[in-house]
Amino acid sequence: MLVLASASPRRRELLAQAGFSFTVRPSAIPEEMQPGENPIAFAMRLAREKADAVFNDQAATETPEDPLLVLGADTVVISPSGEVLGKPLDAQDAARMLRALSGATHAVVTGVALVSRLGAEVASELTYVTMQTLSDKEIAAYIETGEPMDKAGAYGIQGRAAAWIPRIHGCYFNVVGLPLALVAAMLEGIRDRLRVETALLVRP
CB-count burial class (<10 Å; 0-12, 13-18, 19+) for 110: buried
106 beta partners: 129
Give me the catalytic one of 74, 90, 93, 150. Answer: 74
Residue 74 is among the residues annotated as catalytic for this protein:
yes
Q: Return the axis-axis angle of helices 180-202 and 9-17, rounded to nearest 10°.
A: 70
CA distance 49 to 72: 8
Helices vs strands, H then E, count in the chain: 6, 7
**Catalytic annotation, residues:** 74
